[in-house]
Amino acid sequence: MKKTETRVLLLIFTITICLLLSACTDDENFLWQGYVEGDFVYVSSPLGGQLEEVNVKKGQQVTANQTLFTLERKYEKAGVDEASENLDKSLSDLANKRKGSRPSEIASIKARLKKAKAAESLAATDYKRRADLYRSRTISEEERDTSLSTYQQATQQVNQITSELVTATLGSRSDEINAAESAVDAAKARLVQARWNYDQKEQTAPRSGLVFDTIRYKGEWVPAGNPVLSILPPENRKVKFYVPEPIVGEFRIGEELFLNYDGLNEPVKIKLTYISPKSEYTPPVIYSSQSRAKLVFMLEAYPELKDALCLKPGQPVDVSRNIKYFDHKVGIIDTVKSFFRGRNG
């Protein structure tokens, strides 16, 4: 009886192995191997400096515009202060040129004008009187001419001071005002540049995602442009898989496929986004002895955002066109396991 049972078990084992080998042979046509890959976002500062603070940790989820790290920026702060003071000075100079002389200066000019007008009035009266005396031959012509000259000088003095008053109330000349306005614009530009330099020493997350790795640590000197950490956004997680050359022509961009990996209860959908135009040999990461050294093409596909969060770079996966194929393989294995559990029970 024991020999009969042993033979039956051996037969079942042989059939099971054949079924599994048959399924593995079909992998080339129905199930393709691949792995997860991530397109990382490396965050750096365009300016160098000592790393003063790292605000996030490796493995932490961050949101867009969240502060990531800060470099030492005392020099940049001093630049902002200096540029701000220069702008205030330029604005004050422009305002001074636009409004003209100060009130006290204008009051002084008005007082001089009043005095000049009084002198003009007196000179006009004196000239009129001497002109009458000259007509009656009481005074000489020379005295009349002297009186006329005095009157004319007083009139010119009034005109001169009047012009000064108009100029004082108008402000500086147009070319001086234009130069002052240009100085203000230049001061504003320097302030914008100084603030940009200051802001660049503190970097925020350009996108939401996972802090995949921290490359630099607090206290280190970070050269300009060198990344401090890397972020992996969920939408940047993709699947690379390889199909044999004879069937690559069957695939179309935008096609819906199914993805499975260890521990996944139910396969998820992925969308084909790229088909490599160049053939290659199966990469070392694919350990299928049946397909090794055969010509394959690399394809890329992206999962839906809700499923992408579960994918990890480097994780091996299986891809198929038909979700039922995954169910078929699982059914064979579950049947064998149930049989042997029953025999052991």
Q: In this structure, are 34 and 98 located in the same domain? A: no
pLDDT in tens, 271-306: 999 999 988 876 555 555 554 447 889 999 999 999
Angle at alpha carbon of residue 198, lines to 197 and 201, rounded to 5°? 90
Which contiguous run of DSSP H or E holds residue 263?
A: none
* Cα separation, 109 vs 161, whole angstroms: 7
- Is there a domain that residue 272 lies in? yes
What is the count of structural domains for the chain? 3
Q: Which of 229, 296, 283 is nearest to 53 (CA)?
A: 229
Q: In this structure, are 226 and 139 located in the same domain? A: no
The pLDDT of residue 110:
83
Residue 223's domain is classified under what CATH number? 2.40.50.100
- Is there a domain that residue 283 lies in? yes
Q: In this structure, are 157 and 109 located in the same domain? A: yes
Q: In this structure, are 183 and 203 located in the same domain? A: no
Q: In this structure, are 145 and 116 located in the same domain? A: yes
Look at 5 and 138; give whichever has higher pLDDT.
Answer: 138
The pLDDT of residue 29:
62
Q: In this structure, are 67 and 207 located in the same domain? A: yes
- Is there a domain that residue 203 lies in? yes
Q: In this structure, are 237 and 307 located in the same domain? A: yes
Look at 77 and 27; give whichever has higher pLDDT.
Answer: 77
The shares of helix, strand and coil residues in the chain, as percent rounded to the nearest 5, are 50, 25, 25
- Can you state the angle between helices 174-200 and 74-99, rounded to 10 degrees? 160
* Cα separation, 71 vs 49, whole angstroms: 6
- Is there a domain that residue 76 lies in? no
Residue 272's domain is classified under what CATH number? 2.40.30.170
* Cα separation, 9 vs 3, whole angstroms: 10
* Segments forming the whole domain that contains residue 63: 41-71+198-232
The pLDDT of residue 257:
96
Domain's final residue, options 128, 156, 190: 190
- Is there a domain that residue 224 lies in? yes
pLDDT in tens, 158-205: 888 888 777 777 655 677 888 988 999 999 999 999 999 999 999 999
